[in-house]
């Protein structure tokens, strides 16, 4: 049994306590909404969007920390540890996440979501396509793929605690899972966004500090690069160590998955529903891009540079916690490791909220028991139960993790993107888009992605997601053109008032 490093563990425990504090602070807003009789869905409006009052800085932090996760702080550096600077270059495609999400969806998405009182992405899709089938399919997709995505985050957190503190993997997994579930259940979206802001600041400081410490320990950037080349010349090329793995075509197409297409991830795009005003939108784009650049470049460079400083680790995913505990005194290491841990927690709580909302708001309340719409207390109880069930499912998936969690995370994100990207974008900007086209797009997107990931991993040399996205786009357009146009009331709602 490993020896537990109390010096590292204590600051992390204090951090967990602080996160619980944020949850309990936010709980008073949730309870107030639950008891309110002003409107029937005020509880869900508060629980899922925090009252739609995010300022620019908070918007940027919650957007960036929601997307940048264990894949960016544990799995990404872990892959850079084995593949070198090529993976660092690849990871930077994620830098404009905030820009793409907020600029593509823009003010219209926020205006429409307020007008139709949408608190989830599926609320938006329900009003746009007027189809129960669209809602049910997308809700099921959220739950299934987000279980995989959240499992990747839990694995990342457990490995961080395992590598830095010395906790048994299953104990670390359990401790992290309980913390996230309780924090999210009691505080809702407001707790998530407040903690995201705190976590974003911690992540930024930790990234800069660990990067500087790594460069100093390695004798400077030039010396580190020379040492990487001596390990394997492929470590300092854009194509990585594994021959034929990171081709120009594959790298270019990979940017579609982690760049533009993040608009189709509900936990990310839902942030575009919740900002306060246009000024907040513009500030969110600016701050989000800057913070993304610092976090992505800094932490992936740490992973790549760590190949010269850390040897013989069980998995590349352990490079960041192992390197941090080697470079800094235990207490400082514990404080710094709260940064990657914060990134994981901020992603998981957002995904958990979206998945729980898909079960409760999108399926139970709308289809199984519509009478609950006016009963906030019962909705609250069902939300707690659904979150607990989801937590158990995630725990079971995370017990036997893959060697590199980045692949589990990317698989789940690609499945979500194949489901939501075109129904969201075309639904927002193309008047002719209808429910038949959306259904054809979703089924063809998910179906071809799952099929290709098994039998044709790199169609024509591109990333697996590219061809399914093209197929689903073509299917959406063709089927929409061949079937009945949306009703006039839909056009009036989405274009009549604001876009004459």
What single-letter DSSP state applies at residue 361? Answer: I
Is the model's pLDDT at 362 over the cut of 60?
yes
pLDDT at 37: 52
pLDDT at residue 477 in the model: 97
Q: What is d(CA 172, CA 163) in angstroms, rounded to the nearest whole number?
A: 10
CA-CA-CA-CA dihedral for 86, 91, 92, 94, to nearest 10 = 160
Q: Point out which residues pair with 54 in neighbouring strands.
A: 275
Question: Which pLDDT belongs to residue 498?
Answer: 42
Phi-psi label, residue 50: left if phi above 0, alpha if psi -120 to 50, beta otherwise: left
142: part of which helix (H) or strand (E)? helix 132-165
pLDDT in tens, 317-338: 778 888 888 899 988 888 888 7
pLDDT-derived band at 500, boundaries 50, 70, 90? very low
**What tokens does 467 get?**
């061809």
Q: Of 442, 82, 23, which is closest to residue 231 (Cα–Cα)? A: 82
Taking the C-alpha atoms of residue 460 and residue 134, their distance in angstroms, rounded to an integer, is 31
CA 170 to CA 418: how far, in whole Å? Answer: 32
Higher pLDDT, 170 or 191: 170
- Spatial separation of the C-alpha atoms in residues 364 and 351, rounded to whole Å: 18
Mean per-residue pLDDT, 355-380: 73
45 falls in which pLDDT band (50, 70, 90)? low
> In DSSP terms, which residues pair with 275 in a beta bridge?
54
Measure CA 470 to chain center.
23
How many Å apart are CA 68 and CA 200, to the nearest integer?
10
Question: Mean pLDDT for the chain?
Answer: 80
Residue 319, Cβ neighbours under 10 Å: how many?
26
Q: What is the pLDDT of residues 116-155, one digit of tens each?
A: 877 778 889 999 999 989 988 988 888 888 887 788 778 8
Closest to 159 in 3D by CA, of 322, 19, 3, 345 = 322
Residue 215 pairs in a beta bridge with none
Q: Are 360 and 383 in contact (CB under 8 A)?
A: yes
Percent of the chain with pLDDT over 70: 82
Identify which of 103, 95, 87 has the alpha carbon closest to the alpha carbon of residue 68. 95
Judged by average pLDDT, the poorest of 65-79, 227-241, 381-395 is 65-79
Whose tokens are 């979150």? That residue is 387
Sequence spans of domains, the chain: 6-406
DSSP string, 419-482: HHHHHHHHHHH-TT--HHHHHHHHHHHHHHHHHHHHH-SSGGGS-TTHHHHHHHHHHHHHHHHH
pTM of the complete model: 0.77
Give the SS3 label for residue 244. Answer: coil
Q: What is d(CA 144, CA 442) in angstroms, rounded to the nearest whole number?
A: 14
pLDDT greater than 90 at residue 440: yes
Q: Residue 230: pLDDT band by 50, 70, 90 thresholds? A: very high
Three-state DSSP at 54 gives strand
Residue 407 above 80 pLDDT?
no
CATH of 6-406, one of 1.20.1730.10, 1.10.3720.10, 1.10.10.10, 1.10.287.3510: 1.20.1730.10
Average pLDDT score over residue span 223-228: 95
Kindly tell me if the per-residue pLDDT of 497 is higher than 60. Answer: no
Mean pLDDT to the nearest integer, 190-217: 82
Percent of the chain with pLDDT strictly greater than 90: 21
- Helix then strand count (H, E) for the chain reads 21, 0
Q: What is the pLDDT of residues 414-428, one digit of tens each?
A: 788 888 999 999 999
Distance CA 130, CA 124 (A): 10
């Amino acid at each position: 049994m490993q020896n537990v490093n109390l010096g590292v563990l204590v600051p992390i425990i204090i951090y967990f306590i602080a996160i619980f504090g944020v949850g309990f602070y936010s709980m008073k807003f949730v309870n107030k909404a639950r008891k309110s009789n002003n409107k029937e869905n005020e509880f869900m409006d508060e629980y899922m969007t925090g009252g739609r009052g995010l300022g620019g800085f908070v918007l940027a932090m919650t957007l960036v920390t929601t997307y940048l996760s264990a894949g960016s702080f544990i799995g990404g550096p872990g892959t850079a540890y084995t593949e070198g600077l090529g993976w660092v270059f690849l990871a930077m495609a994620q830098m404009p996440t905030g820009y793409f999400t907020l600029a593509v969806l823009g003010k219209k998405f926020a205006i429409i979501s307020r007008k139709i009182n949408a608190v989830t992405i599926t609320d938006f899709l329900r009003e746009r396509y007027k189809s129960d089938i669209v809602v049910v399919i997308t809700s099921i997709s959220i739950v299934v793929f987000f279980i995989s995505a959240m499992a990747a985050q839990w694995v990342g957190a457990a490995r961080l605690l395992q590598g830095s503190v010395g906790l048994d993997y299953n104990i670390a997994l359990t401790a992290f899972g309980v913390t996230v579930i309780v924090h999210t259940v009691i505080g809702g979206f407001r707790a998530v966004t407040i903690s995201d802001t705190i976590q974003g600041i911690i992540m930024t400081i930790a990234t800069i500090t660990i990067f500087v410490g790594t460069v100093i320990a390695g004798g400077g950037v030039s010396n580190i690069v020379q040492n990487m080349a001596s390990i394997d010349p492929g470590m300092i090329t854009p194509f990585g160590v594994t021959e034929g793995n990171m081709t120009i075509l594959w790298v270019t197409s990979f940017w579609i998955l982690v760049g533009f297409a993040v608009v189709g991830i509900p936990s990310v795009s839902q942030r575009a529903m919740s900002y306060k005003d246009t000024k907040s939108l513009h500030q969110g784009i600016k701050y989000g891009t800057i913070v993304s650049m610092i976090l992505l470049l800094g932490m992936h460079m740490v992973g790549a540079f760590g190949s010269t400083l850390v040897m013989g680790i069980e998995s590349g995913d352990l490079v960041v916690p192992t390197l941090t505990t080697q470079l800094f005194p235990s207490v400082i290491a514990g404080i710094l490791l709260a940064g990657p841990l914060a990134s994981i927690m901020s992603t998981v709580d957002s995904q958990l909220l979206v998945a729980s909302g898909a079960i409760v708001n999108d399926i139970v309340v709308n289809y199984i028991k519509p009478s609950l719409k006016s009963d906030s207390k019962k909705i609250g109880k069902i939300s707690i139960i659904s979150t607990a069930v989801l937590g158990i499912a995630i725990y079971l998936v995370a017990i036997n993790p893959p060697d590199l969690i980045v692949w589990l995370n990317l698989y789940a994100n690609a499945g979500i993107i194949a489901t939501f990207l075109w129904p969201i974008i075309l639904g927002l900007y193309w008047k002719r888009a209808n429910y038949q086209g959306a259904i054809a797009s979703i089924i063809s997107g998910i179906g071809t992605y799952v099929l290709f990931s098994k039998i044709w991993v790199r169609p024509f040399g591109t990333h697996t997601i590219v061809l399914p996205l093209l197929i689903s786009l073509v299917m959406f357009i063709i089927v929409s053109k061949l079937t009945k146009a949306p009703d006039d009331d839909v056009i009036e709602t989405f274009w009549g008032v604001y876009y004459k």
